[in-house]
Amino acid sequence: MRRRSLLGTAIGGTLALGAPLLLQGCGSLEPTLSAPVQGPPQGTGDLGVVVQRGRGALTIINTSSRTARGEVSGLGDLSHASVVFSRDAANVYVFGRDGALTKVNLLTQRIVARVQQAGNSIGGAISQDGSLVVAQNYTPGGIKVFDAKTLALVADIPAETASGQRSRVVGLRDLPGRRFIFSLFDADAIWIADLSEPTRPRVTRFEGIGRQPYDALITPNGRHYIAGLFGEDGFAMIDLWEDAPKVRRILADYGRGGQPLPVYKMPHLRGWAVAGGQAYLPAIGRHEVLVANTGTWVETARIPVVGQPVFVMARPDGRQVWVNFAMPDYHRVQVIDTVTQRVVRTLEPGKAVMHMEFTPRGEAVWISSRDSNRVSVIDTTGFETLATIDVDAPSGIFFTARAARVGF
């Protein structure tokens, strides 16, 4: 597994029409802003963003017209960027790999606030009430909590191993009541941070959950938190509705007895594919999608696919699951029918497929192809390409519908 060191990456760049920004420490700054977008009043329900991985920019897109509306640049290193949206879906919070956190308004296409909060960050979450934004960090390991309006620092929670060393944090998800759950890759642990009093966080720790949790999902109803394990087969699961939650191991034997395979890219669990009472999960290093019953969490099927799955994502109605792959098969996408549990279509939308995002009602899926510099919009019924948009090295695609979903 290749690892990229991005510590000490400089943050720079400009807004679309603005002046350079300089960041220092963990303080916010007042950027020079670009001119506001002119035109009639607009809503944000059909908006979204595409991350331009190489240029440190966002392309703002419209899912109804299938067009690009504009661009915001000056966002630093976005090589592993992810975003969350404010409750009103007017603002997007961008977590850069270089540890910067940026708040961007989608309608004005302007940077509202920006802080340099860590040395290496891989994502974040927003609280149920929309008041807190939390970054999960590799360097230094831990989470940092910010006021969603101002990006003022509210709390800093270091993640530590038993020996006192910092651990990388992965799998951060929001829970009801200003709580957040996350996994510690280097500590084999899951923590829950209660921020009902943000300046006095309370942390519940689950230790020895399995070797090297690498990512996690939370089910659509917010009940089950499932962390994938890189250091051993299986997944660690917590039922968050229990009075005294505990960790269970599920799908622990899916790779036993098989020849260990090289892992070309770590799979992602954040998209959660839960459909029809079944969970669809990527098997690390294997050409399979695992299926488990969400009532018993017992394996019910394995679906052969063309390569090592990275994202396994369910269409909003649950009828289909779409899968993209690690190299050398990362030009392909396969569609699984959840009734027959078989692959029904293989597509090749472009070189180096990075991410997929369904429109809110699932009539189309947007797919980014990094090396083709293209985003494709594909009909999920007939599988024809409805539109293509030129985007420089696109990776993550995120729509404002995420603002109303748990764990997004």
Residue 150 is assigned to a structural domain of this protein? yes
Residue 207 is assigned to a structural domain of this protein? yes
pLDDT band at 1 (very low <50, low <70, confident <90, very high): very low
For residues 244-260, give the mean pLDDT: 77
Using CA atoms in the order 305, 307, 310, 316, what is the torsion angle rounded to 10 degrees? -30
For residues 24-28, give the mean pLDDT: 45
Q: Report the C-alpha gap between 271 and 379 in whole angstroms.
A: 19
Question: What is the tally of structural domains in the chain?
Answer: 1
pLDDT band at 283 (very low <50, low <70, confident <90, very high): confident
Res 359 pLDDT > 50: yes
Residue 208 is assigned to a structural domain of this protein? yes
Q: What pLDDT was estimated at residue 11?
A: 33
The answer to whether 106 touches 60, Cβ cutoff 8 Å, is yes
Q: What pLDDT was estimated at residue 18?
A: 37
Q: What pLDDT was estimated at residue 6?
A: 34
Lowest mean pLDDT among 47-56, 188-197, 265-274: 265-274
For residues 205-230, give the mean pLDDT: 91
Q: Cα 49 to the chain's mean position, in Å?
A: 13
How confident is the model over 30-53, as pLDDT tens digits? 554 445 555 667 889 999 999 999
Residue 217 is assigned to a structural domain of this protein? yes
Residue 243 is assigned to a structural domain of this protein? yes
How confident is the model over 77-115, as pLDDT tens digits? 998 899 999 999 999 999 999 999 999 999 999 999 999
How confident is the model over 369-390, as pLDDT tens digits? 999 999 999 999 999 999 999 9
How confident is the model over 164-187, as pLDDT tens digits? 999 999 999 999 999 999 999 999
User: By CB neighbour count within 10 A (0-12 exposed, 13-18 middle, 19+ buried), where does 197 fall?
Assistant: exposed
Domain span holding position 168: 124-265
pTM of the model: 0.88
Q: What is the mean pLDDT of the chain?
A: 87
Residue 229 is assigned to a structural domain of this protein? yes
List the CATH number of the domain containing 231.
2.130.10.10
- Residues 7-22 as b/e (b if ≥16 CB within 10 A, e otherwise) read eebebebbbbebeebe
Residue 292 is assigned to a structural domain of this protein? no
The answer to whether 256 touches 305, Cβ cutoff 8 Å, is no
Residue 247 is assigned to a structural domain of this protein? yes
